[in-house]
Amino acid sequence: MPGPLKAGDRLAKDKTPRTKGAPAPKRPRKQRPGLARVAGGVLARGIYRLALVGIVAAVVLGGGVFLYFSNGLPSVAKLRHYEPPLETRIYADNLRLIAALGTQHRIYVPYDRIPQLVSRAFISAEDRNFWTEPGIDPLAIVRAGLVDMTRIGSHERPLGASTITMQVVKNMLLDNRIDFARKIKEAILALRVNRAMSKKRILTLYLNEIYLGQNAWGVAAAAEAYFDKPLSKLTIAEAATLGGLPKAPTNYNPFLHPRRALNRRNWVIGRMRDDGVITSAEAQAAIASPLLPKAAAGTRPVPGAGYFINAVEAQLVQMFGEKTTMEGGLIVRTSLDPRLQTTAMDAMRDRLEAYDHEFGFYHGPVTRLNTTDLSNDWAAALAKQTTPAGLRRRWRLGVVVSETPAVAHIGWITADNAAATHTGTLTLAALQWGRPLVNGHPGPLLRSVGQMLKPGDVIMIDPHKPAKGGTVSLEQIPVVEGSMLSMDPETGRVSIMVGGWSNRMSPYNRATQAHRQPGSSVKPFDYLTAMQAGIQPDATILDAPFTQRLADGQLYRPGNYEMSFLGPVPVFYAIEQSLNLATLHLVRRVGLANVAANFEKFRIVHHMPLIYPAAIGALDTTLWRMVRGYAALDEYGRQVEPSLIDSVTAPDGHILYQAPDQSCANCMDGSASQLPVLNRPGARLANPDSVYQVIMMMRNVVEHGTGVPAVAGLNRPIAGKTGTTNNFNDAWFLGFVPQMVTGCWIGYDTPRDLGPNQTGGNVCGPAWNQFMKVALKGQPVIDFPTPPGMTLARVSFGSQTVTEAFKPGQVPGSQSNLGLVADNPLGLGGPLANSAGQSAQHDFNPAADGSTAGANAATPAPAGAPAAPASVDKSLGGLY
């Protein structure tokens, strides 16, 4: 018998012999498949074939679609070197942000400076598979497609399936349209971007490019806009708030929709916990924290700084071009002092306001409320009024609620809050300043309030400055304008710039753009020329009629402001009292061409015409040029270049511009008696000895002469000079101490008379004084150092005794008799001689003036000489 079957044995066919006659065993009948089984197999084979055909068709179709939509797509290469448009940020000297230039508020932050907390908040909220996906998320796309199919015909926004990479493509390579074709292009480009650059680069682009509301582009700008913080200071809750914004920046804006923003934030926190970014405990603490958004302080305006900022912007455009200035993300540090800028703006506005109340008249109401608004709810109607440009911070819009002949009742609100109402009065006496002018002078006194104010009139008031006879004062924006400029003469850094009443009202910068006649404020450069010629401060010159034949054959006959002559006067007294005739006689002696050379070297003008009226201010210049020239005097003749910008830095920290280095060689050696040796740029324009003589004479101007109103109460050495043009059209005062030079101009944009006796000292002096009292508070009292070899001596004229400076070899009183003879306007004069008949020493090469050779010596006019004849020409040159 065969043994038992073993593993691997085959079953053999049964070969057992059959018995003869025995029936053969029946074979089992084959089981035929049923109809269902046959049908199922056919169907399966059909489905398989269809699927195969479908796959092939899909591949072919997909390839066709890919080729179709790939055609004309933008290259992803530019993303490798992409530099997003960044705003240029301008800072004051105390690092306060004062302006941002550009169309988009964006602060670029490189990858290594973006906190992981922030980047992972965005990844958890927007694209959890960012680090592993190929640029698209196929499952999310399928899910979005299925959901969107159910929304066909509805107005619901399609469900998003965009990855971070796709959002970068959408924002930077494509437009923001939402349609099928654009989504395919977006996916194709996302695959290409993912192959072309690293995930870190893609994430950096995304976090700096994404718009997050509040005009904030990128996470750094958003952190500032919503929480007034840098990225490094954000908490988990704050990072999650920002991470929730890309889906819908407006809908989840915490300022506009705090409840939605809170829910969205908490959802992002939950995702961060699930992704392991934060712990459960941290998530619970973050969810429990309040939303607490804090609007960024941003570019808090500095009063009047718009003129300075515009000047900086113009300089940046000149240096770097328009595109770099507006999109290059420059970091600009300037010399602006916000505290002094506010002080200067207040000083100028106070002065213009006071002038307007003295010489102006009421311009009428800002607008009017109708009778219904006035009687129903005047406060609500007032709150809807637009704040006029140029309204001072302490002023308010008020409405005349009612009036009687003797008093007007005024209502106003606080900070546009209709619920916070106030009432006050304006009496007839408080309105008298605003009565109309008659022939340029205030007209008859008002007899009733109703002559000026009517119920419903919306007016400007100052509730903090009670007027005489009223609880508020009536105000208005003056028509008269003014400018002020101040700088450090050692470095040239401009600390303040006032270009007018309001930059919002008029961007025209009267400090840099207004070309006006400077009048007598140019006279220090006339007297500097005389000092360079060897004339002593106590030398005698003639204050007597001056005539000069002009090119057209006419005679030029100027006069003094007082229309009188003093005869022989010392040089120091002539500049102190701003005597035109004495100055012109001096100019004729030293040569008009030499005076013109100084005007041009000190850059008062590019070219001074060789006419005598120009020597006393009948030429056009700007406050910027005048302050620059005076700064050079303050620096003892060293050329000074005004500077607005300290440095400009690129976004990567590379310094693009640095103001020239300024240092001092002997400032720390205790040599207080010596003139500092300055290691600063700037050509030598004049000998320090001659400049110092002029400085000492300019001190007399403010201590005894026309500049007295400007320095009241300052009690320190100050040098300055007034300027008043013909017909009192322009008023100037420029003055300096060793550490600061400041200039002021006041006048009308269209030149016209400022009023009788409105001289530079009377008009500009008070504004200059108000500013300098604040600017110099706490500053050391520094005298002007006497250059080595020079001596100081007391000299007198009449009852006045002053201290003047003399060069080595000069003897006080030695030029008291210069051999003056009667003036012959058409005669020729010899060189200036001293009392010994020797030629005076000078530090420049004298030249003829190009018209006449100079004045003959003249005999002094007797005391009490007659006034100038009626033919005196006062239309050319300065007055005072």
* H-state helical runs in 591-712: 592-601, 612-615, 623-634, 688-704, 708-711
CA 774 to CA 348: how far, in whole Å? 13
User: Using CA atoms, how far apart are residues 682 and 727, in angstroms rounded to an integer?
Assistant: 37
Look at residue 24 and give its three-state secondary structure. coil
3-state helix, strand, coil in the chain (%, to 5): 35, 15, 50
520 as an active site residue: the answer is yes
Q: If you write DSSP's letter for every residue of 91-152 in order, what string do you get?
A: E-TTS-EEEEESSSEE----GGGS-HHHHHHHHHHH-TTTTTSSSS-HHHHHHHHHHHHHTT
Task: Of 170, 171, 200, give the one whose Cα is nearest residue 187.
Answer: 170
Instruction: Identify which of 268, 232, 136, 144 has the alpha carbon closest to the alpha carbon of residue 191.
Output: 136
> How far is it, in rounded angstroms, from Cα 278 to Cα 121?
10
SS3 call for 424 = strand
Instruction: Return the CA Rg of the chain.
Output: 43
Q: Among 87, 126, 313, 635, which one carries the catalytic annotation? A: 126
> Distance of CA 56 to CAs 43, 48, 66, 213, Å?
19, 12, 15, 46
What count of Cα atoms within 13 Å lies in the side-chain half-sphere of residue 860? 14
490 is catalytic: no
Question: What burial class does residue 383 get, using C-beta atoms within 10 Å of its C-beta: 0-12 exposed, 13-18 middle, 19+ buried?
Answer: middle
Q: What is the identity of the amino acid at 167?
A: Q
Phi (first) and psi of residue 804, to 5 degrees: -125, 165
DSSP string, 277-290: SS-HHHHHHHHHS-
C-alpha distance from residue 365 to each of 397, 409, 415, 457, 461 (Å): 10, 15, 20, 6, 11
Distance CA 338, CA 97 (A): 10
Report the alpha-carbon angle 43-45-46, nearest 5: 60
CA–CA dist 448, 92 (Å, integer): 50
Neighbouring residues of 744: CB distance < 8 A, sequence distance ≥ 6: 348, 482, 483, 484, 623, 732, 733, 734, 764, 767, 768
Per the residue annotation, which of 473, 495, 520, 643 is the catalytic one? 520
The structure tokens listed for 875 are 């239309």
Which residues are catalytic, by number? 126, 520
